[in-house]
């Protein structure tokens, strides 16, 4: 029995054309449509399951769709279960499947293995110090994905890396795409067999598909193959992974023929006020449709607004006041902590919210990652702080030194560490000069002396110093951790899979330390954050902290969009279009209520210019009305009037600008937008 669909979904599900593109608005039932399409093909058109392939953006999305199909139609989507099963998986899984049909006994090198290979290659070939494994691998990935020669300055390392993979009979994740494309383009017999295999190819999250992924899909599609793609150009936020939404609009018709486009505009997730805000953000964006609200009812109490804004005078106050508003709302609204999410542009922006949760004893979970204080570069700095502040007899002292004796790098490898352990370990390392371990190689002796000097200088500098002073000594002082971590200056060296620069995280450590006069107090706080933040599973009892990227595809009744300041959202390193799409994605995660927060020193121009909401400083009077000050350096009175006049009516609540919850006025009317589910 087919799922119940609305008229737009029904038309798209029954689309007879061989090239179909469904532009799916936010909360419009995209996954439901794909599930229904699979059922329709099976149950009404009687297409055998093994002639259907569904390509998803992530493994989690594949598992979710598989679970829906099992529950809704009673068959298990796995070809291994029999001829009636369909295949569901990521584009990388499909590449591995294609390569595995020809090459047997090969495995996939994950990110850790790839990094180890490249680290060893750079060391063996005596590469310049500024070349880091991660950066070389990123440039290698870009070259492979574009099918271009290796960059000349790293060509020798790239060639050696590919030889290393071949020697171990491995592919890395980029090879799963590029090598499968080469196989299908070079071996016409293999391509013909795969073209015949699937009569229907369904592609989810099509806006996140890169050119090399489209090239692989094109190799599977012949003129008679039905290609059914679903996506939302408003949620294309993975340019750093090669996604190009303009490619979908400009190039695909040349490659795959004429497309028929369907639109899903009915939003089932959010109340009208949130949808009006989302449409305003994406007004006039190419390839997007304006979403329409369906739901009118809400469980939100009448005295709570759908839209709310808070500007504080610091990130710490923003987090504490924002958390107070969240707790205040829960007092009259039957929400569990897990029904509420705080979304930030970067990982570093999560830190003050973790601190606020710890101080208020609010349970929380960091979505899709770890506590800020467990991140690699942050944990390095904390290890140096433990070396500075803990007693030498504390086992954590030696464990900390084990972590960072080579961070910043002193070229002391495993052989040095093994020799140190053979001669008595860290206890002897700190002994008198006559008892200290001796090393045969001159560079090891020099590096050991320098390490010992840094350890004692750090401990001496800690006496009487504040926690912030000690952190600065480690990050920007004599130890120079930042200089080492960013060898080329402010390099785009991503510390998470998405967005946060190492330098931003280090700045956040310094800012966090300013809350504590003594180093010992700061370390106690870090321990508490690490323990609580290590809980990664979602649950009703925990407030969700997340970056916007990780929140994509999820929804909550109450969402706080934090850190909306220029330089962060929009990010200084991002493009205007993609940063605006990120703002749109964050907005449409909210079902009933959206709280936008930031600091008054530089409110996001997205809030001021695109939406027309007044930007208010942290006020003293709880219910005072505030006028919008002219932006610094602006001599355009019309621009100021537009920012102050059009948009949602606001009042102040405890340092907060709160939207009345009414619809956006005609002067702030938005244009079209499309968002994904």
What is the model's pLDDT at position 534?
A: 52
State how beta strands 650-652 and 656-659 pair.
antiparallel
What is the model's pLDDT at position 73?
A: 46
Which residue would you say has higher pLDDT here, 427 or 356?
Answer: 356
- Give CA torsion, residues 95, 99, 101, 107, to 10 deg: -100
319 and 522 Cβ atoms separated by less than 8 Å: no
Q: Residue 650's closest CA among 620, 621, 599, 612?
A: 612
What is the model's pLDDT at position 541?
A: 79
What is the model's pLDDT at position 446?
A: 87
Lowest model confidence (mean pLDDT) among 276-290, 434-448, 474-488, 636-650: 636-650
Q: What is the pLDDT of residues 237-287, one digit of tens each?
A: 666 666 666 666 666 666 677 788 898 888 888 998 888 888 888 777 766
Architecture of domain 7-102+178-267: 3-Layer(aba) Sandwich (3.40)
DSSP-assigned letters across all residues of 240-297: GGT--HHHHHHTHHHHH---EEEEE-EESSS-HHHHHHHHHHTTT-TT----EE----
Cα radius of gyration (the chain): 28
Indicate the pLDDT class of residue 490, thresholds 50, 70 and 90.
very low
Looking at residues 536-551, what average pLDDT do you find?
77
Listed ranges 125-134, 142-151, 240-249; the one with the highest mean pLDDT: 142-151
Structure tokens at 108: 């996939």
Domain ranges of the chain: 7-102+178-267, 107-168, 306-369+536-668, 376-512
What is the model's pLDDT at position 565?
A: 87
Same fold, 7-102+178-267 and 306-369+536-668: yes
Q: How many Cβ atoms are within 10 Å of 526's Cβ, its own excluded?
A: 27
Contacts 24+ apart (CB under 8 A), 87-90: 87/50, 87/52, 87/53, 87/54, 87/198, 88/53, 88/54, 88/56, 88/62, 89/54, 89/55, 89/56, 89/59, 89/62, 90/55, 90/56, 90/57, 90/58, 90/59, 90/62
468 and 332 Cβ atoms separated by less than 8 Å: no
Which residue would you say has higher pLDDT here, 181 or 293?
Answer: 181
Indicate the pLDDT class of residue 434, thresholds 50, 70 and 90.
low
Euclidean distance between CA atoms 147 and 125, whole angstroms: 25
18 and 218 Cβ atoms separated by less than 8 Å: no
Residue 619 — φ and ψ, nearest 5°? -90, 160
Average pLDDT, the chain: 78
Indicate the pLDDT class of residue 559, thresholds 50, 70 and 90.
very high
The yes-or-no verdict on residue 441 having pLDDT over 60 is: yes
Q: Residue 560's closest CA among 364, 370, 292, 283?
A: 364
- 16-55 burial: b if 16+ Cβ within 10 Å, else e: eebbbbbbbbbbbbbbbbbbbbbbbbbeeeebebbbbbbb
The yes-or-no verdict on residue 655 having pLDDT over 60 is: no
Name the percent of the chain lying above pLDDT 70: 77
Which residue would you say has higher pLDDT here, 435 or 543?
Answer: 543
Task: Return all residues near 95 (Cβ < 8 A) that are at least 6 apart.
Answer: 176, 177, 179, 180, 216
- The neighbouring-strand residues paired with 203 are 55, 229
Residues in the chain: 677
What is the model's pLDDT at position 358?
A: 87
CATH number for the region 306-369+536-668 comes to: 3.40.50.300
In 57-149 the beta strands, taken as DSSP E runs, fall at 87-90, 107-109
Q: How many Cβ atoms are within 10 Å of 662's Cβ, its own excluded?
A: 14
Eight-state DSSP code of residue 607: I
The yes-or-no verdict on residue 178 having pLDDT over 90 is: yes
What is the model's pLDDT at position 535?
A: 52
What is the model's pLDDT at position 104?
A: 84
- Helices 442-462, 414-422: axis angle to 10 degrees equals 80
What is the model's pLDDT at position 78?
A: 47
Architecture of domain 376-512: Orthogonal Bundle (1.10)
What is the model's pLDDT at position 28?
A: 83
What is the model's pLDDT at position 540?
A: 60
Q: What is the pLDDT of residues 47-98, one digit of tens each?
A: 888 899 988 877 767 777 777 776 544 444 444 443 357 888 888 889 988 9
Eight-state DSSP code of residue 568: B
What is the model's pLDDT at position 503?
A: 82
Q: What is the pLDDT of residues 286-342, one digit of tens each?
A: 667 788 888 878 889 888 888 888 888 889 999 999 999 999 899 889 888 889 999
208 and 231 Cβ atoms separated by less than 8 Å: yes
Indicate the pLDDT class of residue 617, thresholds 50, 70 and 90.
very low
The yes-or-no verdict on residue 119 having pLDDT over 70 is: yes
What is the model's pLDDT at position 435?
A: 65
Euclidean distance between CA atoms 231 and 251, whole angstroms: 16
The yes-or-no verdict on residue 25 having pLDDT over 60 is: yes
What is the model's pLDDT at position 646?
A: 29
Looking at residues 143-154, what average pLDDT do you find?
91
Lowest model confidence (mean pLDDT) among 113-117, 505-509, 652-656: 652-656
The yes-or-no verdict on residue 141 having pLDDT over 80 is: yes
Looking at residues 448-459, what average pLDDT do you find?
89
What is the model's pLDDT at position 368?
A: 66
């Amino acid at each position: 029995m087919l799922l119940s669909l609305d008229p737009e979904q029904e038309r798209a599900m029954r689309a007879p054309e061989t090239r179909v593109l469904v532009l799916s608005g936010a909360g419009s039932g995209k996954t439901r449509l794909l599930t229904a399409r699979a059922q329709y093909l099976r149950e009404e058109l009687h297409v055998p399951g093994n002639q259907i392939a569904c390509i998803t953006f992530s493994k989690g999305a594949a598992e979710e769709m598989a679970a829906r199909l099992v529950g809704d139609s009673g068959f298990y989507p796995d070809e291994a279960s029999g001829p009636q099963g369909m295949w569901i998986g990521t584009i990388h899984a499909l590449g591995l499947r294609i390569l595995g049909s020809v090459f047997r006994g090969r495995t996939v090198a994950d990110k850790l293995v790839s990094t180890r290979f490249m680290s060893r290659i750079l060391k063996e070939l005596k590469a310049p110090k500024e070349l880091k494994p991660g950066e070389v691998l990123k440039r290698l990935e870009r070259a492979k994905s574009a099918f271009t020669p290796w960059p000349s300055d790293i060509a020798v390392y790239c060639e050696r890396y590919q030889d290393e993979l071949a020697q171990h009979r491995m592919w890395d994740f980029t090879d799963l795409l590029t090598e499968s494309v080469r196989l299908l383009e070079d071996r016409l017999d293999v391509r013909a067999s795969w073209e015949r295999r699937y009569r229907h190819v369904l592609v989810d999250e099509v806006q996140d598909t890169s050119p090399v992924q489209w090239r692989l899909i094109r190799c599977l599609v012949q003129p008679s193959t039905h290609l059914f793609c679903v996506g939302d150009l408003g949620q294309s936020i993975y340019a750093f992974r090669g996604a190009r939404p303009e490619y979908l609009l400009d190039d695909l018709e040349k490659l795959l023929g004429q497309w028929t486009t369907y639109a899903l505009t009915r939003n089932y997730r959010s109340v009208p006020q949130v949808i009006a805000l989302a449409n305003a953000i994406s007004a006039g964006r190419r390839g997007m449709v304006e979403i329409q609200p369906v739901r009118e009812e809400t469980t939100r109490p009448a005295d709570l607004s759908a839209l709310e804004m808070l500007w504080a005078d610091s990130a710490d106050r923003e987090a504490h006041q924002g958390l107070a508003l969240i707790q205040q709302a829960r007092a009259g609204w039957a929400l569990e902590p897990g029904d509420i999410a705080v979304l930030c542009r970067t990982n570093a922006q999560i830190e003050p919210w973790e601190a606020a949760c710890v101080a208020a004893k609010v349970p929380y979970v960091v979505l899709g990652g770890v506590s800020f204080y467990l991140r690699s570069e942050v944990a390095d700095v904390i290890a140096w702080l433990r070396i500075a502040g803990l007693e030498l007899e504390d086992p954590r002292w030696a464990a900390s030194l084990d972590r960072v004796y080579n961070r910043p790098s002193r070229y002391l490898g495993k052989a040095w560490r093994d020799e140190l352990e053979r001669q008595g370990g860290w206890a002897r390392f700190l002994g008198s000069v006559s008892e200290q371990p001796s090393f045969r190689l001159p560079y090891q002796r020099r590096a050991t002396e320098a390490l010992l000097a840094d350890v004692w200088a750090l401990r001496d500098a800690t006496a009487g110093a504040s926690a912030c002073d000690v952190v600065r000594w480690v990050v920007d002082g004599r130890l120079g951790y930042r200089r080492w971590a960013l060898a080329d200056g402010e390099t785009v060296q991503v510390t998470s899979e998405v967005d946060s620069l190492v330098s931003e995280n280090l700045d956040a450590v310094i800012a966090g330390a300013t809350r504590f006069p003594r180093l010992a107090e700061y370390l106690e706080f870090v321990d508490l954050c690490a323990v609580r933040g290590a809980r990664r599973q979602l649950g009703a009892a925990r407030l969700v902290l997340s970056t916007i990227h990780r929140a994509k595809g999820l929804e909550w009744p109450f969402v706080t969009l934090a850190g909306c300041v220029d330089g962060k959202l929009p990010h200084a390193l991002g493009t205007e279009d993609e940063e605006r799409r990120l703002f749109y994605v964050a907005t449409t995660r909210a079902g009933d209520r959206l709280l936008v927060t930031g600091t008054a020193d530089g409110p996001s121009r997205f809030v001021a210019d695109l939406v027309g909401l007044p930007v208010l400083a942290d006020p003293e009077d709880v219910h005072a009305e505030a006028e919008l000050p002219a932006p610094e350096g602006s001599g355009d009175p019309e621009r100021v009037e537009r920012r102050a006049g059009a948009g949602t009516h606001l009042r102040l609540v405890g340092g907060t600008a709160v939207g009345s919850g009414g619809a956006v006025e005609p002067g702030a009317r938005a244009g079209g937008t499309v968002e994904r589910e």
